[in-house]
Structure 1
Amino acid sequence: MDDDGSARHRNGTNKRPRLEDVAARVGLSTASVSLVLRGVPGPSERTRQRVLKAAADLGYQVDRTASLLASRRTRLLGVMVDIHSPFHAELVEHLHTAAEEVGYDLVLSTLTRTRDEHTAVETLLAFRSEALILLGPTAPADTLAAFDRKAPVIAVGRRIVDTGLDVVRTADDDGVGQIVDHLVGLGHRAITYVDGGRGVIATDRRRGYRTAMRRHGLDDHIRVLHGDHTESAGERAARHVLDGGDLPTAVVAFNDQCAIGVLAALARAGVAVPGEVSVVGYDDDTLSRLSCFNLTTVSQSAREQARYAVTAAVERLDQGRTEPREVVLTPRLIVRGTTAEPA
C-alpha cells in the first residue's frame, strides 16, 4: 500500500491527516506541534523527534498555503521572467539559491507573446510577493515606480535613473566595447552590429558598439542592422548581409540567441566561422557554452546579479533600507571558438 493509503488506513478515514491528528498522537498542543514542524526554536530535541516521527507515521504534510495565509509575512519574492530567455532561466536558478539561503522562496510570473509585464506583476502581487525582482523590465520608469509603491522593486539588467528603485545590472556599453576591442586587436575593421531593437538595454549596447568603433577610428565601418533578441532576427540580419555580397569580417549580435541565428544562416550559406567571419554574442547563456556553438560572448555574471538582487530585497524588507541603490557590475569577455584573425 502506498504512503497515502497507509496514512488513510491508520486514521480510519479518507481525509488528509491534520495538525490536530499529530498533536493527539503525541499528546501535545497543536501550538507545540506547529513550532516543531515550522522549525522554530524552543521544543526539546526529544519532543521534536516525537513530533516528526508522528507526522511521518500519519503521512502529515505541512500546508504551506494555510501557513502563509495565517501570517502577515509570506517571505516570498516575486520574479518576473521572460519564458523565452535562456539567460533569465539561469538567473532564476541563482535567485532560488540566494533566496533559500536567507529564508525566502520565489514566486515566478512569466512574460510571453500574449502576457505583458503589467499582467505578470499583478500576478506576483496577488500571490502576496513581498518584493518584486523584475528581470530585464521594459516598462516605462514611471510604471515601474508605480509598482514600487505596492512592493519594493529590484530591476535586474536595465539602467533606470531618477525613480527611487533598486537596480542591479552590468555595464552593457562597456561589455560591447570589450567585444570591439577584442576584434580590433585581432585585426578586424569591418565589424557589423546586429541591434536588439527598442529599450534601454538595446540602446546601451548599441551605444557601446558605436563608441568603441569611433575610439578605434573606425567611424566609416560602423554598420548597425535591424534586429531583436531572437534567433530569427539573427538569421534575417545574416541573410541581409549575405544578399548584399559585402561580407564584414566580424558580426557582433545583441545577445547569444541572436548570435546563434547568425551562426545558423552563415552555416547554411557555407560561410566558415571564424575562418571567413567571426561572430560574437552577449550574455554567456547556457546555449553559448555548448560545444556545437562554442560562442565568444560576454558574461553578465548571472550568479552575482542574483545575489545582489536578493540582498537588495532583504535589505528593503528586513532592514528597512529606504534609499535606492544601484549596483553596476563589470561584464567580462569570454573568448571561445567563434573569433579569430580575419582571413
Structure 2
Amino acid sequence: MNPRPTMEDVAARARVSRALVSIVYRNAPGASDETRARVLAAGDALGYRPDHRARLLGSRQRTRLIGVAFDVRYPFHGDLVEALYPAAEALGYNLTLSAVTGSRRESAAAQSLLDYRCESLILLGPTSPPAALTALADSQPTVVIARKLRASGVHVVRTDDAAGSRLAVEHLLSLGHTQIAHVDGVRAPGAAERRTAYVQTMRRAGRAPVIIPGGPTESAGTEAARRLPRNITAVAAFNDACAIGLLHTLRASGRRVPEEVSIIGYDDSTPSRLDHIQLSTIAQNAHGLAAAALDLATCVDRSPQEVVISPDLVRRKT
C-alpha cells in the first residue's frame, strides 16, 4: 500500500515551497493564480487530500461557520434549517446556506460551502452517490441528515424510516382499512426503507401490497392520485408534500377525505399543520435531528457515527 501523499510531495512536484502549498490549500492570500493552479494540479495528480481535522484543530483563526446544503423543493428541509439555527447558535456557530434547486446540483451547492471556508458541512437528504460523499468528507467534516448511508468518513443522522412506515400502515389497519396503497418515493432518500417496511407490514397483516409510483413532490402526489385504484380506501404517502398533492387532487375529483379515502403523510412538515390541510402524518423530530447533526459537525476529531432517531405518529384529520 502506497503511503498517503504529503504536502511536501505536492511542493516537490509543483516546484514550490511547502509554505506556498499550505497557502494554496488554506485559500489564503500570497500565491498567484498561476501558482495556485500549478499546486492544485500537482495535488490532484498525486491524489493529495489535506488533513482537515489537523488543520481545524490547530488553526488560530476559525470561521465558526457550518455549511448547510438543502433542497428548496422539500418543505421538511426548511423545517430542518429552522431547527439548525438555534442549535448552531447555542454552540457558538453560524450557518452558511447553499441551495439545491431544479437547475443547481448538489455538487455546486457543496462547492460553494467549501469556498466559504466552512469548518464542517451538513447535507440535508443528499442524493449524491456514496463515493462522491466520501470524497467530500475527505476535504471537510461532513454530516448527512435524513439518508441511510454507508460512506467512508461521513457522519449520518437519520430517522428510523422503516419504523415510521410501519407506524403509518399499522395506524391505517387499526382504523379498519384493508385496501391500503403506498405512494412510493422512488429514488428519494428513505424511499427504499419506507417501501420495504410497508410491504412487510401489509403481508404480516395478510393484505396484498399495492405500490403506486410517486416521488417527493406535490406534483408526484397529484399524478399518483390519478392512478389510484377505486377500491383503495387508504394511502400511506412517501412524504407530506406527496400526500398533500394526493389530498388536493382526490378532493378536486369529488372523493371525500377521510370519509372515502384516508391519507397519511411522512415528515410532519409545516404545511401538514395548516388549518385547511390538517394532515395525519409520521413526525420526524427536526430539532432532535438538528441537535445531533450539530454535535457531530462541531467535533471534528470524532470518528464517523450514525445516529438514528425514532419517529412518532401524529393524528390529525385525514
Go from structure 1 to structure 2 and tell me whether the alpha carbon gap of 1:162 and 1:135 turns closer, same or farther (over 3 Å shift): closer
Higher CA-based Rg = 1
Note the alpha carbon deviations across 1:93-134, whole angstroms, 9 max, x for none: 111100001110000000000101100000000000110000
Partner of 2:304: 324
Task: Give 3-state SS (helix, strand or coil) of 2:231's partner.
Answer: coil
- Counterpart Cα distance in 2 of 1:239 and 1:324: 44
1:207 aligns with 2:196: yes
- Counterpart Cα distance in 2 of 1:248 and 1:179: 16
What letter matches 1:76 in structure 2? L
What letter matches 2:317 in structure 1? G
Task: Give 3-state SS (helix, strand or coil) of 2:190's partner.
Answer: helix
Partner of 1:251: 235
- Equivalent positions of 1:140-289 (< 5 A) are 140-161=129-150, 163-218=152-207, 221-241=208-228, 244=229, 246-289=230-273
Contact 2:126 2:189 in 1 (8 A): no
Task: Give 3-state SS (helix, strand or coil) of 1:184's partner.
Answer: helix
- Structure 2 residue runs of 5 or longer lacking an equivalent are 1-58
- Counterpart Cα distance in 2 of 1:85 and 1:200: 12
What TM-score comes out, normalization by structure 1 length? Answer: 0.74
Note the alpha carbon deviations across 1:227-260, whole angstroms, 9 max, x for none: 111111111111122xx5x230101111101000
Task: Give 3-state SS (helix, strand or coil) of 1:232's partner.
Answer: helix
- Equivalent positions of 1:1-343 (< 5 A) are 72-161=61-150, 163-218=152-207, 221-241=208-228, 244=229, 246-316=230-300, 320-321=301-302, 323-338=303-318
Equivalent pairs: percent with the same residue? 46
What TM-score comes out, normalization by structure 2 length? Answer: 0.80
- Counterpart Cα distance in 2 of 1:231 and 1:146: 33
Task: Give 3-state SS (helix, strand or coil) of 1:309's partner.
Answer: helix
- Counterpart Cα distance in 2 of 1:112 and 1:200: 16
TM-superposed deviation, 1:91: 0.6
Note the alpha carbon deviations across 1:36-76, whole angstroms, 9 max, x for none: xxxxxxxxxxxxxxxxxxxxxxxxxxxxxxxxxx9631010
Runs of 4+ in structure 1 deviating by more than 6 angstroms, as ranges, are: none
Contact 2:80 2:286 in 1 (8 A): yes
TM-superposed deviation, 1:167: 0.6
Task: Give 3-state SS (helix, strand or coil) of 1:279's partner.
Answer: strand
Task: Give 3-state SS (helix, strand or coil) of 2:86's partner.
Answer: helix
Task: Give 3-state SS (helix, strand or coil) of 1:154's partner.
Answer: strand
TM-superposed deviation, 1:200: 4.1
- Counterpart Cα distance in 1 of 2:102 and 2:146: 20
Which deviates further from its counterpart, 192-201 or 228-237? 192-201
- Counterpart Cα distance in 1 of 2:236 and 2:189: 18
Q: Report the RMSD for the aligned CA atoms in angstroms.
A: 1.3
- Counterpart Cα distance in 2 of 1:228 and 1:199: 7
Task: Give 3-state SS (helix, strand or coil) of 1:137's partner.
Answer: coil
TM-superposed deviation, 1:196: 0.7
Go from structure 1 to structure 2 and tell me whether the alpha carbon gap of 1:74 and 1:162 turns closer, same or farther (over 3 Å shift): closer
Partner of 1:6: none
Contact 2:125 2:189 in 1 (8 A): no
Partner of 2:17: none
Go from structure 1 to structure 2 and tell me whether the alpha carbon gap of 1:301 and 1:103 turns closer, same or farther (over 3 Å shift): same
TM-superposed deviation, 1:176: 0.7
- Counterpart Cα distance in 1 of 2:315 and 2:200: 21
TM-superposed deviation, 1:204: 1.1
- Counterpart Cα distance in 1 of 2:260 and 2:173: 15
TM-superposed deviation, 1:158: 0.4
TM-superposed deviation, 1:162: 5.0
Task: Give 3-state SS (helix, strand or coil) of 2:299's partner.
Answer: helix
- Counterpart Cα distance in 2 of 1:248 and 1:199: 24
TM-superposed deviation, 1:163: 2.0
- Counterpart Cα distance in 2 of 1:283 and 1:149: 31
